[in-house]
Chains A and B, each alone.
Chain A
Amino acid sequence: MKGLAPLFLGIFGTFAFSWVGLTVIPNWQIGHLNPQSDEEGTDIYPQPQSGMFERGARVYVANGCVYCHSEQVRPDYAGADIERGWGNRRSAPRDYIFERQVLLGKMRMGQDLANIGARAPAGQASPLPAGAAAPAGPAGGTSPAASPAPQGAASAASPSAKQSPSSSPPAQAASPATAGSPSVATSPAAVAASPATSPGSSPPTAAAPAGPQTGVGAPWPIQTVGEPAMYSAAWHHVHLYSPRSINVDSNMPSYRFLYEKRRTHEQRSADALKLTGADAPPEGWEIVPTYDAKCLVAYMMALNQSHPLKDVSSVSGAPATPAGAASPAPSPVPAK
């Protein structure tokens, strides 16, 4: 070959061709999607995510969860994702438009997490109902907020959550009512009550009846007696802290560095982990999640693609739930 010009032009041309073809044109095609809504302009899906979600995603990335967990459900003609109960429909580009960083993943040494939030027990599916909602302020994470209420972390919000099932469709203002609450978040009473006391704007995500039904396939791992309800926030914390206490065969690393061991003050904190056996801290000590751990769990609890999409058909059995009931995203907790 002679001359630099043809060589250079060819090198540049092939690269530009690929760049335009595989990034620019797709960006023009699906790079500017909007949320969908019904005829009245309500039932908007998806919705913007909370600050805890964003930070939880950062924790997820920082600790490399993405190298073992995917967040995408494949269509029914490819793979058994839907039969496994990982979702009731395939994932679509629109599901991800509000995620600052999309973590589709390329490996499944662990389960798919695209709908992990939808698998939470009913009444728990709210992104951050109980333990997770409490710490909205940094204070909750570190101070040993003495909690007189004998509530377990898992069950804290469930009674109240049930009272606000499908109130109003979620306006985009998902959080204003609770925006005031972080100031009082250190008070456990206020925390437990907050979903109920914010009737108008507490998003109806609080109850997602669709959740459990999506689990059609063989449940994994198996719910053990004495442990927090599977896929509840408290369960996630125990699982992150000690994966093999939940499933002996798991090869997930433990993330103990996201938890803090501290002395109990008078009573156990509301968000202390309910650990058994060798994992249990000695008498007078408790294991509590750091704020990062709470964000990570909040992130997972908000991963939910069970809302039907117009251009994707859902599998029957997990039908279109009452308007807004399965709306996944908005968290009642303001970004902090």
Chain B
Amino acid sequence: MNATATGIPLKEPAVSAVAGDTEQLERAYIDASTRVPVLMFYTSAMAWLILGTLLAGFVSFKLHEPDLLSNISFLTWGRVRPAHMNVMVYGWASMAGMGTAIWLMARLCRTVLRYPLLLVAGACLWNLGVFLGVCGIVLGDSTGYQWLEFPRYAAIILFVAYTLVASWAVLMFRYRRGEQIYITQWYLLGAFLWFPWLYAAGQLMLFAVPVQGVLQTAVGWWYANNLLFLWFGAIALGTAYYMIPKVIGRPVYSYHLATIGFWTYALFSSWTGMQRLIDGPFPAWMITASIAATILTMIPVATVGLNHHMTMQGYFPLMRYSPTLRFTVFGAMSYTVFSVVGLLISLRSVASYVNFTQASIAYSHLGLYAFFTMVIFGSMYYIVPRLVGREWRYASLIKLHFWASAYGIGLMTLMLLVGGFSQGSSMENPTLAFSESVETVLPYLRGRSLAGLLLTASHFIFAYHFGLMLLGLGRTSTVPTFLNPVEAETSGGH
């Protein structure tokens, strides 16, 4: 096949074999209807991403320069850090994920977006909730539970906002055309329904009717882990299942594998979480169950990975041209890396080394950035041109964005993992003073800050490019922006 301008075809995956002119028109019509809500979510997400990145840099530098602005209560490390995490989790990742999910939902239900006001109100309220929550954290109102730090007033607003979005999703489902429910929709429907249950269960068991003693920590980690898998992971996997076949114009390799992958994912990944409490004051069976579940998550990893790989088989050279494909495939591959690292650090023998070290930070960043965020970046490169009617202006900026992100997150993961292991081995050696373990990890933390600078650069580049698109300064062209000039070379048969 020729990788000419039309060599990257835009056919529907699996769902519809025939893509006629009417369908093209219809799709353009649906895309146009999603314009306002999706752009609202994306724009807010970008703003939070920039804020979160600045906070992250601050957190990272303060960890090895502790005297930096430490006399101001709301800039103390212990407040900026949860502010950074929550801005990224609820401001950036959730909003960008919802933006992509909304667009996919409309496309896959094959109907124009109805009730846009629900989404507009949802986006406004969500922003308000995140804003109040972050203010609450820096003013010293944090609840202290990982990823649930937002004080109650912010949590309630977030929940209301979320209810609006989720009810929209369910309504859209009722208007869908066609009997088939595409794989992406399983994941999206799962994410849309899991999140409110999860959030409500977490809030209830921690704040409304708090459980006793150490169970609070168990509920906290159960929430955080399921948020990572059932909310972010599900959105990212669903998006990858759409974008990869879509961009290369080829149906998903196996529907059966996808089914197995989805149900094992839902079943096993939801049982993980307690492995983070390893050796803690808990009944051993809880931790063992989660370790077992973590091992079993290799089934969905293998099936999903195999499915994507076989779909991509022979089309990998297209990553040279399509920004969407490059980001999405990077993210999909990171899903495997993320899961394998998660498995390694939860085995009891390894965990006794890395349990209380920076390695768990590496794990969260692998999941939330290398996997989720990269997939979402990819989807934004696909979706935004269809919303604003312009193509991305500079291929060079996209390339810079990709490489800065990829090297940034790669370096960060490496630094935190290696640093975590050396920190752990110093800590497990009682003949060394405890401060040795901190000394050991500090050089790695400086390296992490360097990686953070790369990520900061990548995010500013992307935000600038995104801003150009919003202002209508993209290219007017019928051909998408390719990363490299498409020569008349053949890319098939590789």
Interface residues of A (CB under 8 A from B): 1-4, 7-8, 10-12, 14-15, 17-19, 21-23, 26-27, 29-33, 60-68, 70, 72, 74-75, 78-80, 83-84, 90-97, 99-111, 217-218, 220-221, 243-244, 247, 249-258
Query: Is there an interface contact between A84 and B289, defined as CB atoms closer than 8 Å?
Result: no
Segment 194-240 of B: residues with Cβ below 8 Å from A: 194, 197-198, 201, 205, 210-219, 222, 226, 230
A328 to chain B, nearest CB (A): 15
Judging by beta carbons under 8 Å apart, are B273 and A2 in contact?
Answer: no
- In-complex Cβ contact of B194 among A3, A11, A31 (8 A): A11
Cα distance A92–B214 in the bound complex, in angstroms: 9
In the complex, the chain A residue whose C-beta lies closest to that of B63 is A251
Chain B nearest CB, measured from A260 CB (Å): 13
Docked complex Cα distance between A10 and B439 (Å): 49
Q: Could you list 11 further interchain pairs (A-B, Cβ under 8 angstroms) beyond the known A18-B271, A30-B283, A80-B428? A: A10-B266, A14-B263, A15-B270, A21-B289, A23-B219, A27-B211, A68-B78, A78-B352, A97-B213, A104-B214, A258-B73
- Nearest-Cβ distance from residue A121 to partner chain B, whole angstroms: 19
Is the beta-carbon distance between A7 and B181 smaller than 8 angstroms? yes
In the complex, which of the residues B179, B180, B213 contacts A93, with contact meaning CB atoms closer than 8 Å? B213
B401 within 8 Å of A (CB atoms): no
B344-377 interface code vs A (CB 8 A; 1 in, 0 out): 0000100110011110110000000000000000
Instruction: Tell me whether B280 and A66 are in contact (CB under 8 A).
Output: no
Interchain CB contact (< 8 A) of A30 among B62, B214, B351: B214
B281 touches A95 (CB 8 A): yes
| Contact residues in A for B280 (Cβ distance below 8 Å) | 72, 74, 91, 104
Cross-chain contact B430 with A83 (CB below 8 angstroms): yes
- Name the distance in Å between B272's Cβ and chain A's nearest Cβ: 9
Are A108 and B78 in contact, with the CB atoms below 8 A?
Answer: no
- How far is B197's CA from A105's CA once the two chains are assembled, in angstroms? 25
- Residue of A14, A30, A72 near B215 (CB, 8 A) is A30
B435 and A249 form a contact (CB under 8 A): yes
**7 cross-chain CB contacts under 8 A:** A19-B197, A33-B212, A62-B141, A78-B278, A101-B144, A104-B281, A254-B71
For A68, the chain B residues whose CB sits under 8 A away are 78
Q: Tell whether, in the assembled complex, residue B211 and residue A31 are in contact, meaning their CB atoms are under 8 Å apart.
A: yes
| Cα distance A78–B348 in the bound complex, in angstroms | 8
Which residues on the B side are within 8 Å of A80 (C-beta)? 427-430
Whether B433 and A220, one on each chain, are in contact in the complex, defined by CB atoms closer than 8 angstroms, is yes
Given contact pairs A10-B263, A79-B279, A221-B435, A253 touches B213 in the complex (Cβ within 8 A): no
Q: Give the residue name and chain of the B residue nearest to A46 (CB).
A: B213
**Cβ-defined contact, B76 with A70, below 8 A:** no
What's the minimum C-beta distance from B352 to chain A, rounded to whole angstroms?
4
CB-CB < 8 A to B180: which residues of A?
A: 1-2
Q: Which residues of B are found within 8 Å of A33, using beta-carbon distances?
A: 212-213
Say whether B437 contacts A108, CB under 8 Å. yes
Chain A residues with Cβ below 8 Å from B270 are 14-15, 17-18
Give the contacting residue for A7; candidates B71, B79, B189; CB below 8 A: B189
- Distance between B289 CB and nearest chain A CB, rounded to angstroms: 7
A32 to B212, CA, bound (A): 7
Contact partner of A257 (CB less than 8 A), chosen from B73, B361, B433, B442, is B73
Q: Are B194 and A96 in contact (CB under 8 A)?
A: no
CA distance A67 to B364 in the complex (A): 14
The closest CB in chain A to the CB of B265 belongs to A14
Check B201 against A19 for contact (C-beta < 8 Å). yes
Residues of A contacting B179 in the complex (Cβ-Cβ under 8 angstroms): 2
Expressed in whole angstroms, the minimum distance between the Cβ of A234 and any Cβ of chain B is 21
Minimum Cβ distance to chain A for residue B167 (Å): 15
B78–A253 touching, CB < 8 Å: yes
CB of B478 closer than 8 Å to a CB of A: no
Across the interface, name the chain A residue whose C-beta is closest to B212.
Answer: A31
Q: Which residues of A contact B67 (CB under 8 A)?
A: 244, 253-254
Distance, CA A104 to CA B280, complexed state (A): 8
Question: What does DSSP make chain B's interface, helix, strand, loop or mixed?
Answer: helix
Q: Let me know if B77 is at the binding interface, CB within 8 A.
A: yes
In the complex, what's the smallest C-beta–C-beta distance from B201 to chain A, in angstroms? 6
B217, closest chain A residue (CB): A104
Report the minimal beta-carbon distance from B80 to chain A, rounded to whole angstroms.
8
Question: How many Å from the CB of A48 to the closest CB on chain B?
Answer: 13
Q: How far is the CA of A297 from the CA of B179 in the complex (A)?
A: 64
The reply to whether A22 and B273 contact each other, CB–CB distance below 8 Å, is: yes
Chain B residues, Cβ within 8 Å of A221: 435
Complex Cα gap A254–B442 (Å) = 18
Closest to A91 in B: B281
Q: How far is the CA of A182 from the CA of B214 in the complex (A)?
A: 33
Q: Is B175 an interface residue (CB 8 A)?
A: no
Verify A63–B430 contact, CB threshold 8 A: no
Interface flags for B60-93 (1: CB within 8 Å of A; 0: not) read 0011101100111100111101100000000000
Known: A30-B215, A90-B281. A84 touches B430 (CB 8 A): yes
Q: Which of B431-447 contact A (CB under 8 A)?
A: 431-435, 437-439, 441-442
Interface residue B94 (Cβ < 8 Å from any Cβ of A): no
- The CA of A32 and the CA of B144, in the complex, are separated in Å by 22
Instruction: Give the 8 A-B residue pairs with the shortest CB-CB distance, closest first.
Output: A64-B78, A61-B144, A18-B270, A83-B430, A62-B140, A108-B356, A257-B73, A14-B266
Shortest Cβ distance from B192 into A: residue: A11
Kindly identify, within residues 138 to 164 of chain B, every residue whose CB is under 8 Å from any CB belonging to chain A: 140-144, 146
Let me know if B289 and A14 touch, CB within 8 A. Answer: no
Q: List A contacts of B249 (CB < 8 A).
A: none
**A4/B76 in contact, CB under 8 A:** no
Give min CB distance, B479 to chain A, whole Å. Answer: 35
Instruction: Check B267 for interface membership: any CB of A closer than 8 A.
Output: yes
> Shortest distance in angstroms between A296's beta carbon and chain B's nearest beta carbon?
12
Given A14-B267, A61-B144, A78-B352; A253-B281 close (CB under 8 Å):
no
Bound-state CA distance A294–B435 (Å) is 26
A100 to B358, CA, bound (A): 28
A15–B194 contact, CB under 8 A? Answer: yes
- B259 within 8 A of partner (CB): yes
CB distance from A98 to the nearest CB of B (A): 8
Question: Does residue B412 face the partner (Cβ distance < 8 Å to A)?
Answer: no
A residues near B267, Cβ cutoff 8 Å: 14, 17
Bound Cα distance A12, B189 (Å): 11
Q: Are A23 and B201 in contact (CB under 8 A)?
A: yes
Chain B residues 412 to 462 lying within 8 A of chain A, measured CB to CB, are: 427-435, 437-439, 441-442
Task: Across the interface, name the chain A residue whose C-beta is closest to B174.
Answer: A4
Complex CA–CA separation, A42 to B437 (angstroms): 42
Q: With a CB–CB cut-off of 8 A, which chain A residues contact B410?
A: none
CA distance A66 to B143 in the complex (A): 11
Q: A22-B274, A64-B79, A93-B214 are in contact. Are A79 and B431 (CB under 8 A)?
A: no
- In the complex, what distance in Å separates the CA atom of A327 from the CA atom of B190? 49
Of chain B, the residue at the smallest CB distance from A96 is: B213
State the CA gap A190–B339 with chains docked (Å).
61
Given contacts A7-B189, A253-B66, contact A61 B143 (CB under 8 A): yes
Collect the chain B residues with CB atoms within 8 Å of residue A103's CB: 144
Q: Within the complex, what minimum Cβ distance (angstroms) separates B305 from chain A?
A: 21
Q: Complex Cα distance A218/B441, Å?
A: 19
Residue of A15, A65, A84 with most chain B CB atoms under a 10 A cut-off: A15
Q: Mark B279-307, 1 if CB is under 8 A from A, else 0.
A: 11111001001100000000000000000
CA distance A139 to B210 in the complex (A): 33
Q: Does B131 contact A (CB under 8 A)?
A: no
Q: A23-B215, A27-B215, A102-B214 are in contact. Are A12 and B281 (CB under 8 A)?
A: no
**A65, B78: Cβ atoms closer than 8 Å:** yes
Quick check: B81 and A64 within 8 Å, CB to CB? yes
